[in-house]
Amino acid sequence: MKSTEFSRPASRPPATPTPGAGAGAGTGVADPVFAERYRAMSSRDSRFDGQFITGVHSTGIYCRPSCPAVTPKPSNVSFYLTSAAAHEAGLRACKRCLPDAVPGSPDWNIRDDLAARAMRLIIDGAVEREGVTGLAARLGYSERHLTRVLVDELGAGPLALARAHRAQTARLLLGTGLPISEVAFAAGFGSIRQFNDTIAAVYERTPSELRSRMQAAVRPGYASRNGAEPTGEPGIATTVTLQLPARAPFDGRGVLGFLGVRAIPGVEAVTADSYSRTLRLPNGFAAVELSLAGSPAAPLVSCVARLTSLADLAPLVSRVRRLLDLDADAQAIDLALAADPLLTASVAGTPGIRLPGSMDPEETLFRALLGQQVSVAAARTALSRLAEALGDPFPDAGATPGLSRHFPTAARIAADGRDVLRGPAARIDTVIRVAEALASGELVLSYGQARETLESSLTALAGIGPWTAGYLAMRVLGSPDILLTSDLALRQGAARLALPGDAKRLAAHGAGWAPWRSYAGMHLWRAAGPAAPSRPEPA
């Protein structure tokens, strides 16, 4: 299989390197994108860790840009967008800098092309669950075309990309107390032999050697302690504690606060230092508790997960990273938004603001529908009533304080929602209509959808307008460039920052914030108050 370097630009401010046509070894300095990356690598700038990979052909290894090793000659260097591309080029991971123990690439949310959408699904474990055939079907293309696009764009096909992701998940799990055999299957490998061969090929170590090294020196991205604990219970069987790295700066308290003020009792629980919730995963149930760790320069999120099936750990980690927007290119976003004098103070006061994501797209849609034109407190009351009446009991409630049930399924809301929901008849009709469409498969929400597809499928249903569609694209897909100017609270926040309070004028002013208008909107919501309503102006 062919291995290529960066092949197309991403939407990102000039201050941050942008993927482009990188020259191969021996020709890099003639390419401006190569030269930009080479400068970043030579300065050992940790801002670019996870955004591209340095392949050093003279030593046969690949590194993160901040690797402290001696800077290689340009003629010996190629840059890759994925570790899978480096593997395909015959390179192995550097033992010194451990290039996959870093935040992931923000490109999969910034870009909305086929390659980026495929990567969102691959990271969520789609290949392990459905194979390449299922991945291609979900994206609406043939296997052959999908493979060709991924090789051309990312340097590796879907199987190689999934294999690299399994290796990274296994490396993460080797830092826990799980037996090595359980690590292999939890990471998605089909056999112990396949697991051993992959770890040896990627890290040039056996799994036992890699675990010993990790226990000797805990690094970001590894478990901070032996966190696997078989409970022997029939419900949630295993507890795993992980430390997930975030890209600095990271407004962790802000994003946890956003989730906390909207928490549904029983489904979610909040303390002064943590946020917890129940969720359904492809192979079973889970509960997760998130809290802040690390330092401002190297922020971490402590993730304590209790799972029915360890095979769900990889999608759980992927969804936690999406929920907290851990991979956002925070410095580039702040630099771009602070260029507007009217946002400078807000950016300085809240560096590294995040765009809260979604762990369950269907649940996020129901939250948006019930949150329209009401306060956050009123929406929380309605959602609490719905969850209490229709949510399935959580099987591990005794071991997870504050968590007792799951958010109701679309099928349950479609069947019994009218008996529980209160409010305008038109809103109830819309909720039931959406629930029926989701339950029947008429409406599908997926991390792998294009923004245009997601928004058009939503607005095609009566009762759903542009605000709801845009809000879902922000939360589910992580779309970075949406400004919901019809939102009353957002405009109130704009007025407090001396920005235009009129929707048209605010949209015109906000054009200069592209491609980070979603993050600018978070600043405006923040200015309106921590519990400000998020709702569209009535039609």
Active site residue ranges: 63, 487
Q: How far apart are CA 160 and CA 173, in angstroms?
A: 20
Q: How far apart are CA 444 and CA 422, in angstroms?
A: 26
Task: Evaluate whether 369 touches 343 at the Cβ level (below 8 Å).
Answer: no
Please report how the helices 114-123 and 126-139 are oriented relative to each other, as an axis angle in degrees rounded to 10.
150
Phi, psi of 442 (to 5 degrees): -65, -35
Smallest Cα–Cα separation from 446: which of 454, 437, 435? 454
Q: Is the dihedral of CA 493, 473, 16, 296 positive or negative?
A: positive
Q: State how beta strands 61-63 and 92-93 pair.
A: parallel
- Paired tokens of 369: 């529908």
Task: Evaluate whether 327 touches 299 at the Cβ level (below 8 Å).
Answer: no
**What's the CA angle centered on 11, arms 454 and 259, to 5 degrees?**
55
Phi, psi of 439 (to 5 degrees): -65, -35
Distance from chain centroid for Cα 401: 26
**What letter does residue 339 receive in the DSSP assignment?**
T
Q: Who's near 459: CB < 8 A, 6+ residues apart?
A: 465, 466, 469
Task: Evaluate whether 169 touches 175 at the Cβ level (below 8 Å).
Answer: no
Q: Who's near 361: CB < 8 A, 6+ residues apart?
A: 445, 446, 447, 472, 476
Q: How far apart are CA 472 and CA 466, in angstroms?
A: 10
Q: Is the peptide bond before 515 cis (omega within 30 degrees of 0)?
A: yes
DSSP H helices in 207-302: 207-216, 252-261
Task: Evaluate whether 209 touches 261 at the Cβ level (below 8 Å).
Answer: no
**What's the CA angle centered on 28, arms 22 and 31, to 5 degrees?**
65
List the 268-270 sheet strands across, edge first.
229-230, 238-245, 299-307, 284-294, 274-281, 268-270
Q: Is the dihedral of CA 84, 106, 142, 184 positive or negative?
A: positive
242: three-class secondary structure by DSSP: strand
